[in-house]
Structure 1
Amino acid sequence: MQRSLKFVKHLPALGVEPTVITVDPERGAYPVLDHSLAAEIPASVRVLRTGTSEPFGSYKKLTGRQQIPYGGFANESKTSLVQRAFKFVRGNLFIPDARRGWNAHALQAVADLVAQGEQFDAVLTSSPPHSSQLIGLELKRRYGWRWLADLRDPWTDIYYKAELNQTAPARWLDARYERQVLEQADIVLTTSADTKRLFLGKSGKLHDSKFHVLPNGYDESDFLLPSSPPTDALLITHTGTISETYHIELLLSAVAECRRRHPEVPLRLRFVGKVAEGVQRQLTAAGLNDATELLPFVPHDESVGFLLRSTVLLMAIPDVAHNFGILPGKVFEYLAANKPIICVGPTGSDADNLLQECGAGRAWPYDAYEDMLECLETLVAQWRVNPNLDLPALSHARYSRRSLTEQLVKLVKRS
């Protein structure tokens, strides 16, 4: 996770010496790996890589798929009977999630360090997978260390929960784990105000003072290259995973209509990352295949390069429960690129508020076709005058990774 990686990158310079315990990538299973990010780990940081016990090898053998599912199955637009069975097993036998097999390995690594006489002032566990929070729960019980639980997403309210078909006992146990973590952690970190509100309502024993919103951010060192938007096209870029639940079909229709009205303006789309088959069908239905470039996952530095070589950036919030608190990490990198941002998602959400606060754009509701078309028409008119639509330096400095790590350090050192 970039969030944890960037914290680790900046902690030593701010007076905190981190020891990282994680899974050996040769022994774990992941939908995507970006080895290039390892270069950002300071040489002084100790990283202990452990084994793990996971069911994903069996998943690939039985389903015949080479790629394991994302947490929310975003890369599985069609599921077979075997895949649906795996979802049921995952939801009812692997609680809170199928990564729980790593916990014993991580706890043993800590026990080995303690046996060697080492002591620690605090422990930070970041999730999802939310099973990682059970490691913090056990370390708190064993050693009494100050514990910061970093919850990047909702837990029992996460948007794909219904797909797991959990039984009543499984739902009860999952909720019990969630309450234990929230009640026993010294500090609970969330990435958005709405997610904080969601967790705060989980138990009458919780108090607002325990919760701190520490959003994702961008690393200034990733944006040293100059912006270079194309001069031969108005290029709209989306990076990352996108599936049918993001409901961009009306935006695609608006793009198609804008191209029909202004054939002299080369309006183009570019998707970098995983694009679900359903979204690809939407592109075809809108007649945009000839104007769309689909690129596979690329290393992080290359992804940033695509942002800087764009005219406008596209983001979307999935149309799922509790999406008002979804604040994707990439939105902060979008802001750092200083490009206009078209966002499809709920009005008044944390993402919408952030974009308007920074002057980068706003969120358009999923059904706001006319508003989307008007927005595109405005961009086309501006592009005719000057193909560089870059915005003035946006007010996003407080979202730099170093600034956010400074806030984390204050919480770590709080007595």
Structure 2
Amino acid sequence: MKSALFISYIFPPLGGSGVQRTLKFIKYLRNFDWKPIVVTTGQLNFPQIDYTMIEEIPEDVRVIRINEQHSLTLNQLQNITKLYDDLVKDKTILDDYLNLMSNEKASLIPDSCIAWANNVIEQIDSLIDINKVDLVYTTSGPYSDHVVGYYLKRRFNKPWVADFRDEWTNNAYLNDIDKNSLIYKVHREMEESIVNFADSIITTTPLASDNYVSLFDLPKEKVFTVTNGYDEEDFQEIKIDKLARKNERFTIIHNGLLYSIRTPDTFLRALYNLIKTNLIPRGKIQVQFIGAVEDKKQWEEYVKDLGIDDIVKFEEYLNHSESLTKAATADVLLLIVGPGNKCKSVYTGKVFEYLRLGKPIISLSPPDGLVDKLIKKNNRGYNVEFHDILAIENAIFKLYRKWANNEPLNLPITSDIRRFERRELTRQLASIFDKVLSMHQMKIKKDLILKDVKDTLSRLLDLGNIEQAKQIINSNSDLLNVDAEMCTMKSIIEIAENKLEDAEITLKRARRIDKTNVDVLYNLGYIYERKGLFNEALYYYEEALKYTTDQKFATELNVIIEKIKKNGSSPNFVI
């Protein structure tokens, strides 16, 4: 049985919707010939704790708990800074951020869990034999999980799958992002390094997958979609059929987190209008919000001001089984996704459990978004735009009338819904693991061949044997599509033969493979300098300076850059 090392900060007994995905993968992965080993936190300072979910971890799964600390020593801060050094390729951006951090004007990036990630990186090989691990899987948030994956792949050359439960810098729930801000740029640099270095990326929605392909120019075959889902065993345990009875009052339940742009504001205003106009009698309806609510006191005051505090209740966080049991008693389920085009690409974790509960859904999300299409395809109720209060009123009233007229509200569980069952989703994950592992093994073989070819080329170029070097490159031309260093060697030959146009084409090819390769950038600068295109030369020399870690070379580059700035430039340069 193959082994997968799961790096997951959020894991039982930590609760919340984010924990379900990883836990269910762990629960069923052995059915598909993969043995999971879990590395998680040992701390319990988390908003939601759910000890009942520990019972779902298979007994033979090893769980390694590594503690974190919130008061960091100077040495620990220096180690975290070293983590940033490889992840943030643009050293100007990194230096500016480190300067802010040293003046205590910036928090740790990508999140507060980076200190835990640093502990994992420092301790992991003393706790587990990494050589016996076949693959590394990391899941976010927190995004610090992926920092661990980056360094485990780099240090041990293990295939690595990075699973994004939510997008990172393109996250729909990040408010007022200033893309020109330093903090955003650091996050973006980290994300780019991670998604390019990982062997595979997984997202929870097809639109999120498309976003990663387009935003980071990733190969489509590298990015997979595995949605969230529901676990059939959860629903068998709560005896859902016995709970599915009509309530004395028309009962709407929202199950899950409310935060950021995901607020109950427009729903509450629609409810108030229905009560005020007596379309729904006050004594015939109740609404329950179950789970963590950001600014809970504010919303309790809000419903009190509207005069509907006898109808609307905000209940505390319940463990997963209790929250499902409660939701199963609803007549209608409320799903709040949020406004704006970014929310089109969002499936909330709860939507699939809502589908399995077999209840009508009122969803507040963008028209033509993923949730809208999912609800329409499965005939599961109504999706309305978040700000369309009249449409929300109509959806509530239509379902209330059905309830009042004793029309059945329970809905069948179809094959289209069963495809979101956690066991099936874990099968998909295992299939991705198999593909990534197979490709990694093939790459190791190709890398050995590539190394031999490059070693031979390097010796020939050192000896000035251009003709034989050309023969080697021509007989291994397929390697030019995958290795920037091979392209650089070819460009050296072309430059020696004064074929500057050919060398430029070769290096542009190399840059598509590796945008930050210093030799590629320097050679492009050299070609443009030879051609008298000094602005172009200046740009590529400065790019090479940005990414080099060789101080001697950086000094030489600075001399060249100052010389070009002093002696002139070429107009009409467009990148």
Q: What's the TM-score once normalised by structure 2's chain length?
A: 0.62
Instruction: Look up the equivalent residue of 1:187 and give its one-letter code.
Output: S
Instruction: Look up the equivalent residue of 1:99 and give its one-letter code.
Output: C
Instruction: Look up the equivalent residue of 1:404 and give its one-letter code.
Output: L
2:454 corresponds to: none
Larger mean CA deviation between 225-234 and 120-129 belongs to 225-234
**Aligned match for 1:39, one of 55, 75, 79:** 55
Partner Cα distance (1:123, 1:90) in 2: 34
2:271 corresponds to: 255
Instruction: Look up the equivalent residue of 1:38 and give its one-letter code.
Output: I
Partner Cα distance (2:105, 2:167) in 1: 16
Q: Is the 8 A contact 2:108 2:114 kept in 1?
A: yes
Partner Cα distance (2:173, 2:263) in 1: 16
CA-CA distance at 1:160 after TM superposition:
5.4
2:327 corresponds to: 307
Instruction: Look up the equivalent residue of 2:229 and give its one-letter code.
Output: G
Partner Cα distance (2:300, 2:339) in 1: 18
2:467 corresponds to: none
Partner Cα distance (1:264, 1:241) in 2: 26
Deviations 1:35-81 (Å, cap 9, x if unpaired)?
Answer: 1111100001000111113369xxxxxxxxxxxxxxxxxxxxxxxxx
1:309/1:240 Cα in 2 relative to 1: closer, same or farther (>3 Å)? same
Which structure exhibits the higher relative contact order, with contacts defined as CA atoms closer than 8 Å and separated by 6 or more residues?
Answer: 1
Larger mean CA deviation between 121-130 and 272-281 belongs to 272-281
1:296/1:199 Cα in 2 relative to 1: closer, same or farther (>3 Å)? same
Partner of 2:49, secondary structure, is coil
How many residue pairs get matched? 380
Instruction: Look up the equivalent residue of 1:281 and give its one-letter code.
Output: E
Partner Cα distance (2:62, 2:53) in 1: 16
Partner Cα distance (1:34, 1:282) in 2: 29
- Larger C-alpha radius of gyration, 1 or 2? 2
RMSD (Å), alpha carbons = 2.5
Alignment map for 1:176-191 (pairs within 5 Å) = 176-191=189-204
Partner Cα distance (1:95, 1:244) in 2: 20
1:210 corresponds to: 222
2:29 corresponds to: 11
CA-CA distance at 1:282 after TM superposition:
3.4
CA-CA distance at 1:375 after TM superposition:
1.7
2:94 corresponds to: none
Deviations 1:161-217 (Å, cap 9, x if unpaired)?
Answer: 45798984433322111011111111100011222222222323x111111111111
Partner Cα distance (2:170, 2:401) in 1: 42
Q: Is the 8 A contact 2:149 2:162 kept in 1?
A: yes
Give every structure 1 segment of 4 or more consecutive aligned residues whose post-TM-superposition deviation is greater than 4 Å: 159-167
Partner of 1:126, secondary structure, is strand
Partner of 2:210, secondary structure, is helix
2:339 corresponds to: 319
Partner Cα distance (1:162, 1:311) in 2: 33
Q: Is the 8 A contact 1:216 1:399 kept in 2?
A: yes
Instruction: Look up the equivalent residue of 1:217 and give its one-letter code.
Output: G
1:99 corresponds to: 113
Instruction: Look up the equivalent residue of 1:405 and give its one-letter code.
Output: T
CA-CA distance at 1:378 after TM superposition:
1.5
CA-CA distance at 1:109 after TM superposition:
4.0
Partner Cα distance (1:289, 1:333) in 2: 28
Partner of 2:429, secondary structure, is helix
Partner Cα distance (1:250, 1:108) in 2: 48
Gaps of 5+ in 2: 1-18, 73-100, 439-575
1:375 corresponds to: 395
Gaps of 5+ in 1: 57-86
Partner of 1:22, secondary structure, is strand
1:269/1:13 Cα in 2 relative to 1: closer, same or farther (>3 Å)? same
Q: Is the 8 A contact 1:267 1:291 kept in 2?
A: yes
Partner Cα distance (1:365, 1:13) in 2: 41
CA-CA distance at 1:118 after TM superposition:
4.5
Partner of 2:363, secondary structure, is strand
Deviations 1:349-385 (Å, cap 9, x if unpaired)?
Answer: 1121222222212321123222222222221221122
Instruction: Look up the equivalent residue of 1:21 and give its one-letter code.
Output: V
Partner Cα distance (1:174, 1:328) in 2: 23
Do residues 121 (structure 1) and 152 (structure 2) align?
Answer: no
Q: Is the 8 A contact 1:231 1:388 kept in 2?
A: no
1:113/1:267 Cα in 2 relative to 1: closer, same or farther (>3 Å)? same
CA-CA distance at 1:106 after TM superposition:
1.7
**Aligned match for 2:233, one of 221, 232, 239:** 221
Q: What's the TM-score once normalised by structure 1's chain length?
A: 0.85
More helix by share: 2
1:390/1:55 Cα in 2 relative to 1: closer, same or farther (>3 Å)? farther
2:566 corresponds to: none
Q: Is the 8 A contact 1:19 1:47 kept in 2?
A: yes
**Aligned match for 1:22, one of 34, 37, 40:** 40
CA-CA distance at 1:283 after TM superposition:
2.1
Deviations 1:3-48 (Å, cap 9, x if unpaired)?
Answer: 101100111122110100001134xx21211111111000010001
Partner Cα distance (1:188, 1:249) in 2: 35
CA-CA distance at 1:397 after TM superposition:
0.5
Percent of aligned pairs sharing the same letter: 27
Do residues 155 (structure 1) and 168 (structure 2) align?
Answer: yes
Q: Is the 8 A contact 1:189 1:214 kept in 2?
A: yes
Deviations 1:206-254 (Å, cap 9, x if unpaired)?
Answer: 1111111111111001111123234311100011222473353332233
Partner Cα distance (1:399, 1:36) in 2: 23
1:396 corresponds to: 417
Instruction: Look up the equivalent residue of 2:219 and give its one-letter code.
Output: H
1:246 corresponds to: 262
Deviations 1:305-347 (Å, cap 9, x if unpaired)?
Answer: 0111110000101336722222111111111101000011211
1:164/1:55 Cα in 2 relative to 1: closer, same or farther (>3 Å)? farther
Instruction: Look up the equivalent residue of 2:184 and give its one-letter code.
Output: R
1:380/1:321 Cα in 2 relative to 1: closer, same or farther (>3 Å)? closer
CA-CA distance at 1:119 after TM superposition:
1.2
CA-CA distance at 1:265 after TM superposition:
6.6
2:292 corresponds to: 274
Partner Cα distance (1:189, 1:90) in 2: 35
Partner of 1:261, secondary structure, is coil
Larger mean CA deviation between 306-315 and 366-375 belongs to 366-375
